[in-house]
Amino acid sequence: MVTRKVFGIVLAGGEGKRLMPLTEDRAKPAVPFGGQYRLIDFALSNLLNSGLRQIVVLTQYKSHSLDRHVSQTWRMSGLLNSYVASVPAQQRLGKRWFSGSADAILQSLNLIYDEQPDIIVVVGADHVYRMDFSQMIDAHIASGAAATVAAIRQPISLADQFGVIEVDPNNPEHIHRFLEKPSDPVGLPDSPGEVLASMGNYVFNADALIDAVLRDGELTDSSHDMGGDIIPAFVAQGAAGVYDLNRNDVPGSTDRDRYYWRDVGTIDSFFEAHQDLISVMPVFNLYNREWPIFSQQLNSPPAKFTRDARGTLGTVIDSIVSLGSVISGAHVERSVLGPWAVVGSGAHVADSILFDRARIDAGATVQRAILDKEVVVEAGARIGVDRAEDLARGFIVTDSGITVVGKGSRVRAAGA
């Protein structure tokens, strides 16, 4: 049996404008998620668990936090040329930044030439999911396609939110058309009420991908995007296949979370994805020991729940609390607390996300809010209670009522 050499590319140059202010000082893939993780940890964990051992992370926008996380967290032993390497934009083709995801690969072809792989797996860095890419690679090789797109089934009513794959009725593994946010989609042959939405994950024959990005780089009317330009080019050639996530069987997954995938590109979707973590039977289960999500292991003490000076006991319900956090005589409900978060006496935190080292002082109230790292909510202050009050402070408040407080902000009580 011939063993194919597989190379992984993680596209991590996204600016993440729709996640502002969480991306004001960091790249989107570096945004904390689920307490102790970063968004990029999900893509890298999937690749590593799938057996890939040579992976590059292409970075660009405000990449310091992301580069540091990759270098500190994803150190490999170096045996058998194993590595996860963060590669910033190198401007190898002139003094310009990446103009799109395909251009990022074009400007990084030296990485591919160095390794000379047979198969290249290209994934995004900002989705929350589990996937065994080795199964997709096997399906790609068996299909004979030059490019294979991973897809997840979505209700046809949501088709206008995704890149939609229309399959050949006579060959459901062959892409007939690739449509960007269609208003009149065609349902699947075996499920007319569903469509296949692109997950932004691809498997390519290496020579085909190299040829495709070189050709695309010569075009003046291209946006140089993987989903918008490269995949449609393969479809036009009749060389693109689709891999339905329903075929993927991740060890340890449950019926509830087996086909979970979320694009957390907006504040609302980011918030909702956290709510998926904290239910009694989580929609996405972080506790799957057979397919772990890896991240930086902080040198921190356990979380601590104590009575306050008056003997009032802190209570925590349906929440995730990270290492180093202290909850003292406070109430926390349906929330996710990052490392070293502190919630003081009489404070009330509900339906919220606190990044690392956020501090909620005595008697403060935080509800339906996202607090970036090192935010301080002073004694008696309120966040997420009065929309007008939050807007007057300059905070972002979504239409659904989620208040977002930027990194390092200090929130004082009204009149203080």
Which residues lie below 8 Å from residue 96, measured CB to CB, with a gap of 6+? none
On whether the CB atoms of residues 49 and 132 are closer than 8 A, the answer is yes
SS3 396: strand
Could you tell me the sign of the dihedral formed by the alpha carbons of 295, 300, 305, 308, in that order?
Answer: negative
Which residues lie below 8 Å from residue 370, measured CB to CB, with a gap of 6+? 22, 267, 270, 271, 352, 353, 355, 402, 403, 404, 405
Q: Can you say how many angstroms the Cα of residue 365 is from the centroid of all Cα atoms in its chain?
A: 29
On whether the CB atoms of residues 299 and 161 are closer than 8 A, the answer is no
Nearest CA-CA partner of 7 in 107, 112, 79: 112
Is 180 assigned a ligand-binding role in the annotation? yes
The residues pairing with 129 across neighbouring beta strands, listed in sequence order, are 261
On whether the CB atoms of residues 194 and 248 are closer than 8 A, the answer is no
Nearest CA-CA partner of 196 in 212, 175, 221: 175
CA 76, CA 12: separation in Å to the nearest integer? 19
Is 181 assigned a ligand-binding role in the annotation? yes
DSSP state, 347? -
Is 198 assigned a ligand-binding role in the annotation? yes
CA 383, CA 389: separation in Å to the nearest integer? 9
CA 86, CA 12: separation in Å to the nearest integer? 9
CA 405, CA 268: separation in Å to the nearest integer? 14
For the annotated binding site for alpha-D-glucose 1-phosphate, the residues are: 163, 180-181, 198
For the annotated binding site, the residues are: 163, 180-181, 198
